[in-house]
Structure 1
Amino acid sequence: MRLFSADEIDAALSFPALIDTLAEAFRSDGVMPPRNHYAIERPGDKGVLLVMPAWSAPSVEKGYIGTKVVSVFFGNGKRNLPGVMGAYLLMDGDTGEPLAVFDGNRLTVWRTAAASALAARYMASETASKMLMVGAGALAPFLVKAHRSVRPLTDIAIWARRPEAAEAVVEALAREGIEARAATDLEGEARTADIISCATNATEPLIHGHWLKRSAHLDLIGAFTMEMREADADALNRARVVIDSEKAIEEGGDVAVAIRDGDYSADRIAGTLSDLCRGAIPGPAEDGGITLFKSVGVSIEDLAAATAVWENSLPA
């Protein structure tokens, strides 16, 4: 059984190839059982254990089984550790033989960024040139690179609560030959952005619907509990909304919170990312207006990414 480090995953994946792989996965009949959440109580802290299985459709000639195990410990920041850590196990779909274990954090940032860019490929204006990245965590540079691979971005702004964190992302992107700038005026940047991608731990809305210009595309990733929000209900009500899965209606922040509070109705959601990839729904708003994608993360994305790393690493 092989172990794939973060560096090996980086070497095996690229945008937009992974975006294409995810599009195929969302068009397939891969199996995604509900993910399980377990509360973990520890002295002075609490955490969550998530188990996310998936496997290839029976019709696939070469199938795989995969499971991601993720821990979320809210006090890890005080220990100088990531709040989210995990691993991914890939198995042969015909025999159940374990094939590889992957760095779960690295696989997650790749597949999450690819899913957001996949949605943008369908929903964002084809001429989108200005992107605002809200948040400066591990996902930020991957989201920039993913969106940049599907739209002709020429102006990329990074905003974070700590300006030095935004500067660090700008420097990291510069080392890869990508020009970006740190921003301090969140509202001003949001009012002119073609694509706004949010990956934060915010508990109150950072993006307000009345800021968004008519053709903006809003990408919401960070709010993964009902205590978190990145955009207000006005943003949802002004936009054509697509979610990565039906789970977004009942868990995670933003959409689920607005529905719970009576500020937004689930029947206004246009559909899922699978619907987009299958051509069941159109991507852009009919009037060329605002679009919004809410991601909560689905296990078929992890399986697709792990499979891509595995197959790209096999001898020719």
Structure 2
Amino acid sequence: MVQILSADAVRELLSLSELFPVVEEAFVKQGRGEVERPPRPHFPVGIRVDSIRDGIGPQGESNEDPATDSPLGTALTMPAYIHGRSVYATKLAAVHPNNAAQCLPTVNAQVVLTDSTTGLPLGFFDGNSITSARTGCIGGLAAEYLATDPIRLGVIGAGTQARWQTRAIAAGSDVESVRIYSPSDSRDVCAADLRGEGLPADAVDSPEEAVSDANVVVTATTSTDPVFDGKSLEPGTLVVAVGAYTAEMQELDETTFDRAARVFADVPEEVADIGDVREAGLSESDLVPLSEVFEGVVGRDSDEEILVVESVGSAVLDAATAEYLYEKARERGVGEDVGL
């Protein structure tokens, strides 16, 4: 039997306070090399679908040249296994930028859980909720270990991940205030939603308002240009950047890196290739594995240091989170069992 966990079921089971140690342990295992995390292949999908299905090109004209058809999306496969565990996970993700016009999510993902001793399938879970929660825990753990209390949080971005970062940071630390900026009215909706959850959130009209006087700054955008001026950072600020994951994407400017005492990375070899780090002239050797923070090897040396945490995400965290959910669902009888 295969256990199916919908988005609602995943949200019912998730507890950020319970997930923190799960994610932290996964980071430590990854840092020690006690995991299998193959390269994540990505490939274009949806090429010429409209033309072949309808016999016409995108503008209503005959179109037999495949070079004129752009892919509708990008598919990614992200497998991972933590040594000693009886399960492993594979995340199947897809990014379709045009979905917003159809009121559909741009990113969709599912996580497949497999028995590592037999290869038999165990679970099929909503991957969006898992990704949101485990990524939120990165910011939550970073704030717990590297920020000074109480936290005055500035958030650039007002989407799903902005909410999860705020929730997770509040779950692990004392949050005094939250100021949210986005160039659209989504900042008002995001702030209202978080206030409805009991968090002290307000929308502001500029990135400077969000960043000034903050001691933790989160960027959760898809920007290709820096989203705030590094000169606006107060001494002692922790910057958590979770949005950029390609060479074309950039959330932080060179000034932010110049002022930072250390730059931590969840996956240094992959973070080295994103736009933030490349534009700052940094390489993998300049990045400190975030796992070393959780092992007590390195951290904050003074209250005045500016620190940066860069995250591109790791399938190891998906595997750990899926295992946690699977075990909790079995205990509580949540989800649906389906025979294949």
Work out whether the TM-score is over 0.5. Answer: yes
Q: Is the 8 A contact 1:233 1:264 kept in 2?
A: no
Paired with 1:45 and 1:137, the residues of 2 have a C-alpha distance of 27
Secondary structure of 2:179's partner? strand
Paired with 1:26 and 1:121, the residues of 2 have a C-alpha distance of 15
Structure 2: runs of 5 or more not aligned: 49-68, 333-340
**1:242 maps to 2:242:** no
Q: Is the 8 A contact 1:248 1:294 kept in 2?
A: no
Offset of 1:171 from its aligned partner? 2.1
Partner of 1:220: 241
Cα 1:304–1:175 shift into 2, 3 Å:
same
Answer with 1 or 2: which has the greater Rg.
2
Paired with 1:45 and 1:111, the residues of 2 have a C-alpha distance of 32
Q: Is the 8 A contact 2:153 2:214 kept in 1?
A: yes
Q: 2:285 aligned to 251, 260, 267, which one?
A: 267
RMSD, aligned α-carbons = 1.8
Q: For structure 1, which segment, 21-30 or 211-220, has the greater mean C-alpha deviation from structure 2 after superposition?
A: 21-30
Offset of 1:45 from its aligned partner? 4.2
Partner of 2:229: 208
Partner of 1:16: 17
**1:155 maps to 2:188:** no
Q: Is the 8 A contact 2:272 2:284 kept in 1?
A: no
Partner of 2:317: 301
Paired with 1:244 and 1:74, the residues of 2 have a C-alpha distance of 26
TM-score, with normalisation over the residues of structure 1?
A: 0.91
Offset of 1:220 from its aligned partner? 0.4
Q: 1:39 aligned to 19, 24, 44, which one?
A: 44
**1:251 maps to 2:273:** yes
Secondary structure of 2:320's partner? helix
Q: 1:51 aligned to 58, 62, 77, which one?
A: 77
Partner of 2:216: 195
Paired with 1:252 and 1:103, the residues of 2 have a C-alpha distance of 27
Q: Is the 8 A contact 1:65 1:96 kept in 2?
A: no
One-letter amino acid of the counterpart of residue 109, structure 1: S
Offset of 1:247 from its aligned partner? 3.2
| Map 1:76-115 → 2, pairs under 5 A | 76-115=99-138
Partner of 1:171: 192
Q: Is the 8 A contact 2:271 2:312 kept in 1?
A: no
Paired with 1:291 and 1:16, the residues of 2 have a C-alpha distance of 24
One-letter amino acid of the counterpart of residue 37, structure 2: M
Paired with 1:198 and 1:249, the residues of 2 have a C-alpha distance of 15
Cα 1:308–1:75 shift into 2, 3 Å:
same
Paired with 1:67 and 1:84, the residues of 2 have a C-alpha distance of 16
Q: Is the 8 A contact 1:247 1:296 kept in 2?
A: no
Q: Is the 8 A contact 2:192 2:202 kept in 1?
A: no
Structure 1: runs of 5 or more not aligned: none
Residue identity (%) = 30
Q: Is the 8 A contact 1:132 1:156 kept in 2?
A: yes
One-letter amino acid of the counterpart of residue 230, structure 1: E
Secondary structure of 1:42's partner? coil
Offset of 1:146 from its aligned partner? 0.3
Secondary structure of 1:315's partner? helix
Partner of 1:311: 327
Count of matched residue positions in the alignment of Structure 1 and Structure 2: 305
Paired with 1:253 and 1:268, the residues of 2 have a C-alpha distance of 15
Secondary structure of 1:187's partner? helix
Offset of 1:82 from its aligned partner? 1.6
Paired with 2:36 and 2:231, the residues of 1 have a C-alpha distance of 39
Q: Is the 8 A contact 1:116 1:295 kept in 2?
A: no
Q: 2:293 aligned to 271, 276, 285, which one?
A: 276
Partner of 1:118: 141
Paired with 1:106 and 1:264, the residues of 2 have a C-alpha distance of 32
Paired with 2:127 and 2:331, the residues of 1 have a C-alpha distance of 23
Offset of 1:114 from its aligned partner? 0.7
Paired with 1:251 and 1:71, the residues of 2 have a C-alpha distance of 21
